[in-house]
A and B are shown apart, each in its own frame.
Chain A
Amino acid sequence: MSLDFSIVGAISVTGLNLMVPIALTAIGEVFGEKAGVVNIGLEGIILTGAWSAVYFSWLAQSPWVGLLGGALTGTFFGALHGYVAIWLKGDQIISGVGINIFALGFVPFAIQAVWGVQGSFAKCSVCGVPEISTPWSPLSYFVPLTIVIAGAFWYLLNKTRYGSMTKATGENPEAADAVGINVERVRFLAVMIGATLAGLSGAFLSIDYTGGITKDISAGRGFIALATVVFAGWKPMLALAGGLLFGFAQEVSSFATTLPAIGHTFPSVDYIFSALPYVVTLIVVATAVGRSRFPKALGTPYRRE
């Protein structure tokens, strides 16, 4: 079987669509981590964002309300996480683990409680937004939107006073405090913004990409996004590139297993592909390139002396 142009086209379009949730989440997390707060609850936020996007679409009979609902669900979890991590000086990692465990239970629970079905709800007639038609398969408007968002966050972090303030709270909160920056407030806002993008990623997955909700719709993307942040060295544009790379890897691997030549010689080779983002990230942090780029105050709450 030869690779013809239409297959390359279809893979490229799907690869671009699959870039969106990883890149959006990673860009948001870059912003949060620049302010010194890690959120390993991203996986859970994507999942609940995806659920609530369907729920609000179904309730309001409008996918736009759904998208907003998904994003705001992210904001809500960002606020919870930020409250624990910043104001209560609690442990960020544990809070994130709690959010993930909660979401893994909440989404299947709520699917069954609200719609009376187990595992997935696909009969959402309003769950869908317009897409860009291409000769192969529809391309999501989220693709250009994600590219714009990456650029916007690059600008925000590198060219604005607010961006400098945010970075200062993650690098040296004592110094930031000394020059009059309200460390808690700046960090809280950054965490909420970051989590909002994760919620929006979930809404993209359910409303735009699939048109329904399954209990495992996030499929590890929150963790791939965490890997992408490290891989990208906390740079929004590189997070976009990482999202593109890992999104394409997902699509290529699922396509590769459908090829008889590969599928028969290497059974379940897609599992090996799926491990790729994590292995690549491990290799990146293991090499000298990965050293000392972590925001210095990452993961530690700020206590005023």
Chain B
Amino acid sequence: MKLPLIGGGRVLAPLEESAFAALMGFFFGGILLVVLGYNPILTYYYMFYGGLGSLSNVTDMLGNAAPLILTALTFAVGVRAGLFNIGAEGQVYVGAGGAIYASYYFLPAGIHLGFALVLAGAAGALMAVPTYLLKAYRGVNEVITTIMLNWTAYFGVLWVAIVLLADPARPEKTISVAPTSRFPDFLLGSVSTSALLFAIAVAAAFYVYLWLTPSGYELRSVGLNPEAARFSGINPRKPLLSALLLGGASAGLAGAVQVAGRTTPFALYTGLSNVLNYGYNGIGVALIGRNHPLGIIVAGLFFGTLQAGFSTVQLYARVPFEIIQVIEGIIIFTVAAPELYRRFRGSLKK
């Protein structure tokens, strides 16, 4: 079976485009660093040191990669169905809220985690229902709906965090996820490793669904050519619903992973600060990974490495850690225009 990773024409072109986007991020990020008086080489050294420099840095990196892989799957399954689903951001919030809410119940370890994951996934999927209804029955573009839902979810979860999940002893955070519903730390002494394995398992499940089941085939057919799919008798609403619900569930799980699968803090913090932007950065991961589960795992590890550099960049290179987000933004901006790389290549040949 041929991996559908590679498009027609030049075999490596998509990979080159992804690498080009990453290099553009480092290049323009480097220019910015120089202009503002920082040493880019030192900065990049500590950025990667933060993700790869020691065992605990590596587990931190894996912990960052797990939610990014899950939110990237949300975007990717949407693209495969011809959708532009940017709703992962809000679905992460409600997923995290759902996973924390599960800690109000007392259940044996293992079953408790399963329960939290089911709640988180269901909350994320539920968040996607309005997008489906408005698209299928009102013809409203999913970009509009998901932006509105992301912000509704943001303020809704902020509210729920205070009225329902507040920690009476610590006003800056919600209650912590119960130890019985945290990810197990059976590898490298960190919960992040099992969270990452879980994310990879979900990615594998998406692969199986998309390429090995009739329903997944229908979904991709609608995405590739909606007209042809309709003529061959596919009801376009079914793949639309599948893509949105599966994507919503995956983003909800990303929220769960973020509160139950990181070394700290096992809770939501003021302003949802520890779950922000995973949905939007997931779009970047999906694009760098060419909307394919395998590519997404690799791209997720790459973005996870960047994000794990937050503390080392700040502490050792003495550069504000936000430079990492600047670089991520430039990378995402660059992948918006594949033509940019083609022109760059063209100018090299002359």
Contacts and interface: CB of A to CB of B under 8 A. Distances in A.
Interface stretch (A18-26, A136-144, A182-190, A269-277): A269-277
A197 interface: no
Contacts of B115: none
Contacts of B151: 220, 223, 275, 278
A267 interface: yes
A105 B159 contact: no
Contact of B152 (A44, A89, A110, A278): A278
Contacts of A290: 138, 140
A183 to B, nearest CB: 17
Describe B's contact surface by its main secondary structure. helix
A84 interface: yes
A37 to B, nearest CB: 13
B328 A281 contact: no
Interface string B127-146: 00010011000111101110
Interface in B311-326: 320, 322-326
A89 B337 CA distance: 7
Contacts of A230: 144
Interface string B322-335: 11111111111111
A254 interface: no
Interface residues of A, number: 52
B329 A94 contact: no
Contact of A285 (B140, B159, B325): B140
Interface stretch (B57-65, B94-102, B280-288): B280-288
A90 B141 CA distance: 19
Q: Which of B133, B323, B329, B343 has the most CB of A within 10 A?
A: B329
A59 to B, nearest CB: 14
A224 to B, nearest CB: 8
B338 A90 contact: yes
A98 B140 contact: no
Interface residues of B, number: 55
Interface string A98-109: 111111111111
A93 interface: yes
A262 interface: no
B284 A101 contact: yes
A164 interface: no
B329 A106 contact: yes
A203 to B, nearest CB: 21
A54 interface: no
Contact of A106 (B130, B141, B322): B322
A272 B139 contact: no
A101 B89 CA distance: 13
B147 interface: yes
A13 to B, nearest CB: 25
A227 interface: yes
Interface string B245-282: 00000000000000000000000000000000100110
Contacts of A100: 280, 329
Contact of A102 (B283, B320, B330, B339): B330
Interface string A134-169: 000000000000000000000000000000000000
B283 A94 contact: yes
Contact of B329 (A93, A101, A112, A220): A101
Interface in A69-114: 80, 84, 88-95, 97-110, 112-114
A106 B143 CA distance: 25
B243 to A, nearest CB: 16
Contacts of A281: 144, 148
A272 to B, nearest CB: 6
B158 A271 contact: yes
Nearest to B160: A271
B37 A113 contact: yes
A7 interface: no
A275 B156 contact: yes
A104 B138 contact: no
Nearest to A91: B336
Contacts of B130: 282
B36 interface: yes
B204 interface: no
B144 A98 contact: no
B134 A104 contact: no
Given A275-B152, A294-B141, A97 B339 contact: no
Contacts of B37: 113
Contact of A282 (B36, B145, B340): B145
B143 A268 contact: no
A16 to B, nearest CB: 23
A177 B141 CA distance: 26
Contacts of B277: 101, 104
Contact of A105 (B84, B324, B335): B324
Interface in A247-277: 267-268, 271-272, 274-275
Contacts of A104: 277, 322, 325, 329
B162 interface: yes
B299 to A, nearest CB: 14
Contact of B158 (A101, A103, A268, A279): A268
B336 A90 contact: yes
Q: Which of A40, A226, A285 has the most CB of B within 10 A?
A: A285
Interface of A: 38, 40, 44, 80, 84, 88-95, 97-110, 112-114, 220, 223, 226-227, 230, 267-268, 271-272, 274-275, 278-279, 281-282, 285-286, 290-292, 294, 299
11 contacts: A80-B333, A84-B340, A89-B337, A98-B336, A105-B323, A279-B148, A285-B134, A285-B140, A286-B138, A294-B141, A299-B143
